[in-house]
Amino acid sequence: MMTDFSTATAQRWSPSSILSGAAALICLIAASIGFSMALPNFGSPGNAANILLQFGPLALLALGQMCVILVRGFDISVGAVLALSSVTAALAIEQFGIFGLIAAPLTGLALGVLNGILVGLLSIPPIIATLGMLLFARGLALLISNNGQVVLVTGAPQMQLLDFSFGQFLSIPYSALLTFGVFLAVAIFLKRMRAGRRLFLIGGDPEAARLVGTPVTRGIVLAYGLCGALAGLAAVLILTKTGAGLPTDGVGMELNAIAAAVIGGSLLTGGVASPLRVLFAALFIQVVQSGLSFSAVSPYAGEVVMGLVILIAGLLDQITRRKLQTITMH
């Protein structure tokens, strides 16, 4: 059993894992320099601030994916959960003022915990459980928004949302500061708190974790709950920018979030996670999307590029997995 847990530790700190995570920073630097050299004004302070303003929702979704991938799962429902959280928060704001924003992370948390129960307690495969949740959440978002209508936030709450969205501290958008704070909190939770450290053990070897008394099911529910809550926070950031709850928000974002988590060094086999690397990966994807937008290329070309990014992310995962198998065999 000690061998199993030492294997999990080896996965977490192996050279191949570190190299995989470092790839996120290398890609970020290369993309930033490349687009800055090719496109006038891309490297301007104004565009840098815009990238920071835009990357928060993707970064939070990627952080949530990192948590569930850590325990050998994944969640393809996060885009739909984001949409439902956005709509419920917009409806709540109309009733309770700006305090209704709390409905977004609470909605995400509830749906995430439900995903965790389906996967951890009922042993439903993640692809089935989260696909069902995707359809449920997207359908419910369309239903409660009067069959897909935009749910506008009006009056004083609308101005408060916009003030936050465009507010800055030392030229850094408030939304980016909130995102950085959430990443720091999750990093501290995973490194310093017992419940967080247990997630590495569960992802490294669930059966060995059970044998030494680790509450595996509770850990899986916790990971999915975090993922859902972070999707709800991502909905808050989108709501502050748009001033409306959109039942179509988040379409396709789940794939970019999984890509960011994998580029950030997370292994689909579990047991490895680094919030800092995932942050770099999310910034890299946002830089690429911003650069393609600056280039005025066809949006279809942009989809091709993002498809290649996801394929490369999968390749990185496979290479790292094989390296780890070689290490554990020796």
Nearest C-alpha neighbor of 261 from the set 85, 36, 23: 23
By C-alpha distance, which of 14, 103, 26 is closest to 283?
A: 26
Tally Cβ neighbours within 10 Å of residue 247: 26
* CA 51/CA 283 separation, integer angstroms: 8
CATH class, 2-329 region: mainly alpha
State if pTM tops 0.85: yes
User: What gap in Å lies between CA 177 and CA 183, rounded to an integer?
Assistant: 10
Whole-number pLDDT of residue 269? 87
Q: Which of 148, 142, 157, 139 is nearest to 92 (CA)?
A: 157
**Which residue, 230, 322, 308, 289, is CA-closest to 20?**
322
Contact 49, 35 (CB under 8 A): no
**Cβ partners under 8 Å of residue 198, min gap 6:** 209, 214, 215, 219
Token pair belonging to 295: 């280039």
- Asked if 115 and 227 count as a contact pair (C-beta separation under 8 A), the reply is yes
Domain spans in the chain, listed from the N-terminal domain onward: 2-329
Per-residue confidence (pLDDT) for residue 8, from 0 to 100: 47
- Give per-residue pLDDT as tens, 278-328: 999 999 999 998 988 888 777 777 778 878 877 877 776 677 667 666 765
* Cα angle, residue 321 at apex, residues 76 and 221 outer, rounded to 5°: 40
84 CB contacts (<8 Å, ≥6 apart)? 107, 111, 137, 138, 140, 141, 247
CA distance 80 to 117: 18
244-245 and 172-173: which strand pairing? Answer: unpaired
Query: CA-to-CA distance for 174 and 177, rounded, in angstroms?
Result: 5
Q: Show the tokens assigned to 271.
A: 């047991």
Count CB atoms within 10 A of the CB of residue 273: 31
Q: pLDDT (tens digit, 9 = 90+) per residue, 235-257?
A: 999 999 999 999 999 998 998 99
Q: What is the mean pLDDT of each run of 10 residues along the chain (330 residues)?
A: 42 47 80 90 88 94 97 96 97 93 97 98 96 97 92 86 85 94 97 95 93 95 98 96 91 90 87 93 92 80 79 72 64
| Among candidate residues 53, 85, 260, the one with its CA nearest the CA of residue 168 | 53
